[in-house]
Structures are given as C-alpha cells and as structure tokens.
Amino acid sequence: MSTLPPLVEPAAELTKEEVARYSRHLIIPDVGVDGQKRLKNAKVLVVGAGGLGSPALLYLAAAGVGTIGIVEFDVVDESNLHRQIIHGQSDLGRPKAESARDSIAEINPYVTVNLHQLRLDSSNVLDIFKDYDLILDGTDNFATRYLVNDAAVLAKKPYVWGSIFRFEGQVSVFWEDAPNGQGLNYRHLYPEPPPPGMVPSCSEGGVLGVLCASIGSIMVNEAIKLITGIGETLLGRLMVYDALEMSYRTIKIRRDPNAEPITELIDYEAFCGVVSDDAQQAAAGHTITARELKEKFDNKDDFLLVDVREPHEYEIVKIDGSVLIPKDRILSGEAFAELPQDRPLVLHCKSGVRSAEALAALHRAGFKDAVHVGGGVLAWANQVDKSLPTY
C-alpha cells in the first residue's frame, strides 16, 4: 500500500474568492477545505515547460497550488506548439518560462510563480530544490532525469516522474525517504542509462501531441494526492500508458537491496554519454559543415551523400542528390555491400548524432575516408537552402 500522510500543512484560511473558485474541489469529501488549504500552502517545482510541463503547469495552477516554480531556459519554437499548449503563436521566440508564467496568470491570479531560467546542473540543483515541497520532472533526456533523481534523494524530496515517446507514456512517484520503508528512487527502476543512440529523443522519434495531456494530467493527479494525503500514489508502481491500444497497466517496482546509496552529485552528461566514445572518435577530424558540403556539390566532387535517417523523415525533407540508407542497416553491416569502395562517402542525419554513430561503424568496416555533416539536414536547411522545411 502506498497511502502516505499529507506532504504539506494546511494554509490558515481560504478567502471568499478562493472558496468560490475551488468550490467543486471543496464539495469532494476527500479533498474538502482541508485539502484545498494544503494545496494553497504547497510549493511545487516543475522541471521543464515543454510537452509534459505545459499541461502539468496549467492544471497545478488551476488546482490552486499556491507556489509554482518553473525551471526552463529554452525559447518557444514552432515545432513545440502541437503539444506544448501553455504557449501560443504570439509566444514564438519568447522564453518558455515567461510564456508559461503569463498563461498561469490567466488561469489563476492567486498563484505565485517563481522562474528559474537556467539549465539545471549539479552546481545549482540543490539550491533550487530546497525551497519546494515536491518536484515534477517533465524532462526529455536521461542526464537531467538522473540529476533530478539524485538531487531529490539528497534533498529528501518526493518527485513525480513522467516520460513520453511516440504513443507511449510512463509515470511513477519516487521518494527515497518515504515513510514506512516504502522509499524508492529512479535508479531502482533504471540503474543505468541506456547506451548512447539506443533510445531516440522526442525530436528524433516524435511524440503524439495529445499524449502529453494524458501523462501530464496523471502527474498532477499524483502531485495532488501527495500534497493532500488522499488515495494511493504511484510510489512503488510504474504506470505504462499505450495510446494506440488505449491501455493502462501498472508494474510493481521493487527496491534493489544491492543499489549503491546516493551520496553526491556526479557528471551526468558523462554518465549518460549522449554520444558513444566510438562516435566521438570517428567524428573527430571526419566532420564537415553544411557549407563545406555545398562546396563539394559546387565543385562537382565525386562522392556519395548517404542519409542515415528513417524513410518517414526522408519524406519530410531531404538534400537533393542523397541516397537513403537508414542507420540500423549500416550498424548491422547489412548495407556495406551497397556502398561504393571507390568513392568517398559523406553521411548525414537530422542533427549529426546518428550519422556519427554510423560513421564509427563505417570506419570499423574499412571505409576510412568517410565523413559526416555536423548539424545534419537541419544545418543544411538553416545555412544553405533556407527554402527547405525543418522538423
């Protein structure tokens, strides 16, 4: 059982305006005036104002959480708008933290919003966490997830974790210091990050926009239960949602008795190795820029341009003269027979990460002169052919 005592003491009172605003909460016996006062007194930090942060922030504000912190250093981009519903067309180019704050003010003027416009790292995370009762982690990369987890353990704070990819989402609650020996942290579920290049990010693999609403709202549901002490939280359970099957299932998470205790923060970029060592070595001295690729075309150099993305990405945008050979066919060696031995190879992907991995495989297979395009097709579209769309 993961019924937990309320995380937050109740505020002294609700004003007449607050009673009117939250009346549908107040008449639920489990929430009531006491629960709403706890929400009013709560300080919740949301890491990221993107896909998961957008619905989470809106519903935390609507629910009457008194203080909301937002950690976000990015700006609003057009590709965000299909899922990041806290931002709008007029916010393009604005800092996401400021756009989110303005949307929250429209939803609920009684909420205090603290902006932390910075990249969370080992030097600042504990200082930021100390002022909050609860953390919601809506980040999309493993380095920040492990950072948030370890900092929450050291700060003795519970946090709600969510992740999304294509049509699937996951949610759980982690709290190393939970009462009655129920303590768990993210490393009991995922002791090690996946190998570099194994799990595509949302920008590489995509995400169905509405999935963010499903997972973000479950995260807020867990936050409300933790703050008010009602119901059973997802502490000790992983909830997996499949939007195509329309199925929710929960998997029990057990504490690993052999897990190393978390005693300090580490270098999370190194721990998660965004790009493998092989790929870094292959790319060193074998990377050309998008403009250098254009020079090769202009000079009519004899080379083969290989696009290592997936077929559906090739349909969105491609560089004229390229051939499509997806990365996995190169990594498996299946595509080697199709590659010319007598012409230099130039690889590219979306941003340069996948092409570096493929480059390492080609170098190992004897294609020593192969190079790749740093920044990929995005760099080509931004620097060389600005008529092309980006994604």
Q: Going residue by residue through the chain, which has 391 residues, state the pLDDT in tens, using 9 for 90 and above.
A: 457 999 999 999 999 999 999 999 999 999 999 999 999 999 999 999 999 999 999 999 999 999 999 999 999 999 999 999 999 999 999 999 999 999 999 999 999 999 999 999 999 999 999 999 999 999 988 999 999 999 999 999 999 999 999 999 999 999 999 998 889 999 999 988 877 666 677 777 788 999 999 999 999 999 999 999 999 999 999 999 999 999 999 999 999 888 889 999 988 887 876 667 788 888 888 999 999 999 999 999 999 999 999 999 999 999 999 999 999 999 999 999 999 988 999 999 998 989 999 999 999 999 999 999 999 999 999 999 999 998 8
**Inter-axis angle of helices 32-41 and 211-228, nearest 10:** 110
Q: How far apart are CA 351 and CA 376, in angstroms?
A: 4
- Give 111-132 pLDDT, tens digit per residue: 999 999 999 999 999 999 999 9
* φ, ψ (nearest 5 deg) of residue 115: -100, 135
- Give 331-343 pLDDT, tens digit per residue: 999 999 999 988 9
Per-residue pLDDT at 18: 97
Q: How far apart are CA 390 and CA 384, in angstroms?
A: 13
Per-residue pLDDT at 273: 66
Strand 168-174 vs strand 237-242: parallel, antiparallel, or unpaired? antiparallel
Q: What is the CATH number of domain 277-383?
A: 3.40.250.10
Per-residue pLDDT at 308: 97
3-state secondary structure the chain: CCCCCCCCCCCCCCCHHHHHHCHHHHCCCCCHHHHHHHHHHCEEEEECCCCCHHHHHHHHHHHCCCEEEEECCCECCHHHCCCCCCCCHHHCCCEHHHHHHHHHHHHCCCCEEEEECCCCCCCCHHHHHCCCCEEEECCCCHHHHHHHHHHHHHHCCCEEEEEEEECEEEEEEEECCCCCCCCECHHHHCCCCCCCCCCCCHHHHCECCCHHHHHHHHHHHHHHHHHHCCCCCCECEEEEEECCCCEEEEEECCCCCCCCCCCCCCCHHHHHCCCCHHHHHHHCCCEECHHHHHHHHHCCCCCEEEECCCHHHHHHCCCCCEEECCHHHHHCCCCHHHCCCCCCEEEECCCCHHHHHHHHHHHHCCCCCCEEECCHHHHHHHHCCCCCCCC
Is-contact 362 333, C-beta < 8 A?
no
Active-site residue set: 202, 349
Is-contact 380 319, C-beta < 8 A?
yes
The pLDDT mean for the chain works out to 93
Residue written as token pair 């990594």: 331
- Give 350-378 pLDDT, tens digit per residue: 989 899 999 999 999 999 999 999 999 99
Q: Tell me the two tokens of residue 87.
A: 């931002």
* φ, ψ (nearest 5 deg) of residue 159: -145, 150
Per-residue pLDDT at 222: 98
- Give 14-49 pLDDT, tens digit per residue: 999 999 999 999 999 999 999 999 999 999 999 999
Q: Which amino acid is at 286?
A: H
Per-residue pLDDT at 270: 76
Q: Which residues contact 7 (CB under 8 A, 6 or more apart)?
A: 38, 42, 133, 134, 158, 226, 227, 229
Q: How far apart are CA 162 and CA 81, in angstroms?
A: 20
Q: How far apart are CA 224 and CA 206, in angstroms?
A: 29
Domain residue ranges of the chain, discontinuous segments joined by +: 16-272, 277-383
Q: How far apart are CA 190 and CA 302, in angstroms?
A: 47
Q: Which amino acid is at 13?
A: E
Could you tell me the pTM of the whole model? 0.84
Compute how many other C-beta atoms are within 10 angstroms of the C-beta atom of residue 208. Answer: 17
Do 16-272 and 277-383 share a fold? no
Q: How far apart are CA 371 and CA 82, in angstroms?
A: 35
Of 3.90.79.10, 3.40.50.720, 3.30.70.1140, 3.40.50.1010, which CATH number belongs to 16-272?
3.40.50.720
